[in-house]
């Protein structure tokens, strides 16, 4: 694997400053990496203002939090596309809100596990009473509100890390094989679930817009003929005002409906692109043997965990997986 020197090493090469030894050249600090990942410059944007002086008596300038800064497009070419950059920000936000696991378990669901009842995050815990057992068997998730405030506010919603990993891996593999077997059917299925005008095809939308534009042109023609009738004194000014108001309202309604359909067409096109993107990434996971953080971050938006129930003497627990862009795939 190729090693990449940290920025200070290049500064030394170009400007002779920030002396860095060969041994230290590849010792990247976490703060440096996060600063690079957070910088909108890489997607073709830049911050308008990073510091602010709110009062003339204030000494120095105040640091504006990243979330509150305004960014605008810059004139240079982007290194990464906006979707990739935004996805990285989402992952960074997710990881900064949740305390990392200290037991050594590689927490694959950081920030995406939600309690189905109260909506709060599930916290990760490791049972230290029997350290000889495998780490995966001793690790479990539990509702944060239950853990902090007790049974008056919520219930445990407990699920073991091993069971959850197995379930999520199985679900991804199932949908991945469905995509490989019949991609078109999968696309129809997920598009039908997305929050857009999926009941319309692009062809139907274009046809509807064409019909409305024709009616709008007819309304314009009627208005012109109406004006000619007024000029020839075939109708009174009062009749002209009444009829012209009617045609203007008719034209306005057609225009609004056309704009609405055009927006629906744009949303449908965007939804199709997103569904295609998910299908491509999911299809690559058909034969995976192990779930990784990278796969979870690429595919899953959130996972809802319900409280276990006993039905017919068996423990039953509902888990809902919401995938990126399309939500829950039924």
DSSP reduced 3-state for 122 = strand
> Where do runs of H (alpha helix) occur along 139-236?
144-149, 161-181, 183-193, 202-231
d(CA 314, CA 330): 24
pTM: 0.55
Q: How far is CA 183 from the centre of its chain?
A: 22
Question: Does 208 reside within a domain?
Answer: yes
What is residue 279's three-state secondary structure?
helix
pLDDT, residue 61, reads: 56
Percent of the chain predicted with pLDDT > 70 = 80
Q: Which two three-digit tokens encode residue 131?
A: 């350290």
Hey, which residues does 45 pair with through a beta bridge? 73
HEC secondary structure over 66-90: HHHCCEEECCCCCCCCHHHHHHHHH
Three-state DSSP class for residue 251: helix
Q: Mean pLDDT lowest for which of 47-51, 183-187, 222-226, 291-295?
A: 47-51
**Confidence check: pLDDT of 185 > 60:** yes
Domain range for residue 25? Answer: 1-36
Cα–Cα distance measured from residue 213 to residue 211, given in angstroms and rounded to the nearest whole number = 6
Cα angle value 87/88/94 (rounded, 5°): 90
**In the numeric block, which tokens belong to residue 12?**
């030394």
pLDDT at 98: 47
The order of strands in the sheet holding 139-143 is 122-126, 139-143, 159-160
pLDDT at 172 (0 to 100)? 95
Q: How far apart are the first and last CA of the chain?
A: 41
In a domain, 187, yes or no: no
Q: How far apart are CA 191 and CA 268, in angstroms?
A: 8
Element (H, E) at 302: strand 300-305
Does the residue 106 lie in any domain?
no
Q: Each residue of 110-160: pLDDT tens digit? A: 889 999 999 999 988 888 777 778 888 889 999 999 988 888 899 999 999
Q: Is residue 22 part of a domain?
A: yes
- Per-residue confidence at 178, pLDDT binned at 50, 70, 90? very high
Q: State how many domains the chain has.
A: 2
Task: Tell how strand 314-316 and strand 309-311 pair up.
Answer: antiparallel
**What pLDDT, on the 0 to 100 scale, is given for residue 16?**
61
Q: How confident is the model at residue 170 (pLDDT cuts 50, 70, 90)?
A: very high
Rg of the chain, C-alpha, whole Å = 29
Q: Is the pLDDT of residue 167 over 90?
A: yes
Which whole-number Å values give the CA distances from 68 to 63, 65, 71, 221, in the listed order? 10, 5, 10, 52
Residue 134 and residue 126: Cα distance in Å, rounded?
Answer: 11
Q: Are 304 and 327 in contact (CB under 8 A)?
A: no
State mean pLDDT over 228-243.
81
What would the pLDDT profile of 23-71 be if each residue is shown by its tens digit? 777 778 777 888 888 888 888 887 766 666 554 455 555 566 666 677 7
- Domain membership flag for residue 256: yes
Flag whether 175 is in a domain: no
Predicted local distance difference test score (pLDDT) of residue 118: 92
Q: What are the phi and psi torsion angles at 103 (to 5°)? A: -80, -15
Confidence of residue 200 (pLDDT cuts 50, 70, 90): very low
The tokens for 27 are 């010792």
């Amino acid at each position: 694997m190729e090693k990449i020197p940290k920025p200070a090493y290049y500064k030394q090469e170009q400007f002779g400053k920030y002396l860095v030894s060969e041994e230290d050249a590849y010792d990247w600090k976490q703060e440096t990496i996060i600063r690079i990942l957070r910088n909108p410059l890489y997607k073709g944007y830049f911050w308008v203002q990073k510091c602010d002086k709110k009062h003339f008596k204030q000494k120095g300038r105040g640091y504006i939090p990243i979330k509150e800064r305004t960014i605008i497009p810059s004139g240079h070419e982007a290194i990464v596309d906006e979707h990739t950059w935004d996805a990285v920000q989402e992952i960074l936000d997710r990881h900064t809100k949740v305390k990392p696991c200290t037991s050594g378990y590689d927490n694959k669901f950081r920030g995406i596990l939600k309690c189905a009842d109260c909506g709060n995050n599930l916290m990760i815990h490791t049972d230290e009473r029997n350290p000889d057992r495998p780490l995966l068997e001793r690790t479990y998730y539990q509702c944060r509100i239950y853990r902090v405030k007790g049974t008056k506010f919520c219930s445990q919603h407990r699920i073991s890390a091993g069971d959850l990993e197995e379930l999520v891996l199985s679900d991804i593999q199932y949908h991945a094989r469905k995509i490989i077997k019949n991609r078109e059917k999968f696309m129809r299925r997920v598009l039908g679930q997305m929050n857009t005008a999926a009941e319309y095809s692009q062809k139907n939308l274009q046809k509807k817009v064409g019909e409305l534009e024709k009616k709008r042109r007819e309304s314009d023609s009627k208005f012109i003929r109406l004006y000619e009738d007024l000029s020839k004194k075939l109708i009174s000014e009062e009749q002209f005002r009444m009829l012209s108001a009617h045609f203007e309202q008719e034209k306005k309604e057609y225009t609004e409906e056309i704009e609405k359909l055009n927006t629906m067409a744009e949303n449908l096109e965007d939804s199709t692109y997103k569904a295609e993107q998910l299908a491509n990434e999911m299809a690559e996971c058909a034969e995976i043997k192990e779930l990784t953080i990278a796969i979870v971050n690429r595919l899953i938006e959130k996972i809802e965990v319900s409280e276990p129930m006993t039905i017919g003497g068996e423990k039953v627990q509902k888990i809902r997986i919401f995938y990126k862009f399309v939500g829950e795939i039924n």
